[in-house]
Amino acid sequence: MQTLLLWLFYISSFYAFIPGMITRIFGFRVFRRGKGQQAFALTFDDGPDPHYTPQLLDLLKRYHAKGTFFVVGINAEQNPELIKRMYDEGHLIGIHNYTHKTNWLMSPNTVRNQIMKTDKILYDITGERTSYYRPPWGIINLFDFSKRNQFKIVLWSSMFGDWRESMGADRLATRMLNKLKPGEVMLLHDCGSTLGANPNAPEQMLIALERVLQEAQLRDLHSIRIDEMILAKENATETKLSRGKLAIVKLWLLWEMVFHFMFRLQTVTPNNPFLHYRLRAYQGDNITLDNGMILHKGDKVIELHFDNEKLFDIGLHSRSTVHLAIKMIRSMEKELPSLAQQIMDNDDFKDAKALYGVSMINRGPEKFGFSIRDLPEGWFAKSTGLYLKLLMRVIHPAGQDRLRESSEKLIPKMIIMPIEQLNKYYIVNGSHRNPSKKTNEQERGVEEQLLNVSLLGTPPVV
């Protein structure tokens, strides 16, 4: 009996669990995130619903937004007029099985029949075949990979729990606005009749979605169909990553999610993350900073971390090391005033003495008001150096060459700024000013100094 159960476990893992994990972590043979400057994607599952889908279509039309609907075949069969309206109004229609059943509990042949039956229903209504498929709950089995020549499997980059009415429009809108950025593939639901959903949940979704569409207009963002996003990504002239490098990036971003959860990092600008921070006690030797202040062991500091996904995106879209340096300078100039204001407004940070981070930038941060100090020799300095060199190899446009040419110069250092100095330089009547007024020539000098740039440290600082 134990042997039988063991074999059932092995078979089920190979058939369902392992394929599901590699698609979620590595995006293997699925599409789940796009590229671009001003476009995101709204996708809707489980419909059409005779009550909520017309309201959704009205909303999208009002804001000139295009969506992608992954429909359940039996719902499409019962509401052909809504499928026709989706098609006529320029939305993309994909398949979500004929009934809302998980692929893990169906044989490959049953899954195929579900897909083909739904495809025929859509063809009979619109006169056009679909090429896009999203399995219910995003759960695939091993044989779903064989469909990639006929159907593109589409998952998502963000979901919000909108199938629960208790989520409420306010909390849902906040979650969606935090993810409103180019390339995002948002998962929403225009039907509440599936297992685990609340029948009236789409009502809250519609309220939240209108707020998101209003904000998108203010940010000059627009929602496009999934096929348009896929095409834009395929046509993007950007750096191509090897599979090995891509796997490193995926694991690295997964680690960052775990790290942020474990240490409860806060974000300066949630809708466009660049800097994260947390309060902690400084554990190193006493340090005298450039302004004469002494940082003692046990003093409260605000530890800084770059957003790794943002850095990767900046590096991937930078034409050169100079371009990368300029983007980082501009981002820091925008973030520091907001960070200073958040620290001032939060009583939890009133005892913090300094900003603190770990960096391979040997020259440059002092122009923002930071003091640069060596890390004490030891395992932390060595492990941080290895980590940041790996980070540079992945992100920097010429990271491999920089490591080969000047590895001995890439030494992690502490960067520290007293809080009073942060306030002095970056909070002036709600705006900010830089530590010194830089001429264009001086600014170019900073950018040139940053050609050796790696990045602020992301490993936990102890």
Whether 162 and 189 have beta carbons less than 8 Å apart is answered as yes
Instruction: Report the C-alpha gap between 418 and 371 in whole angstroms.
Output: 9
125-164: burial string, b at 16+ Cβ within 10 Å, e else: bbeeebebbbbbbbbbbeebeebeeebbbbbbbbbbebbe
Calculate the alpha carbon distances from 68 to 79, 144, 327, 393 in Å: 17, 21, 33, 37
Q: What is the dihedral of CA 312, 318, 321, 327, to 10 degrees?
A: -80
Catalytic residue among 100, 189, 260, 305: 189
d(CA 40, CA 64): 13
Query: How many Å apart are CA 157 and CA 450, to the nearest integer?
Result: 32
296 is known as an active-site residue: no
Which secondary-structure segment (H or E) carries 366? none
- The DSSP bridge pattern shows strands 354-359 and 413-418 to be antiparallel
| Catalytic member of 45, 162, 190, 227 | 45
- Nearest-angstrom CA–CA distance, 461 and 135: 41
DSSP codes joined into one string, 407-460: GGG---EEEEEEHHHHHHHH-BTTB---SSPPPHHHHHHHHHHGGG------SP
Tell me which DSSP letter residue 31 carries.
Answer: B
Q: Is 124 a catalytic residue?
A: no
Interacting residues of 241 by C-beta distance below 8 A, sequence separation 6+: 249, 316
- In DSSP notation, 184-249 reads -EEEEES---STT--TTHHHHHHHHHHHHHHHHHHTT-EE--HHHHHHHHHH---PPPPHHHHHHH
- The set of catalytic residues is 45, 189
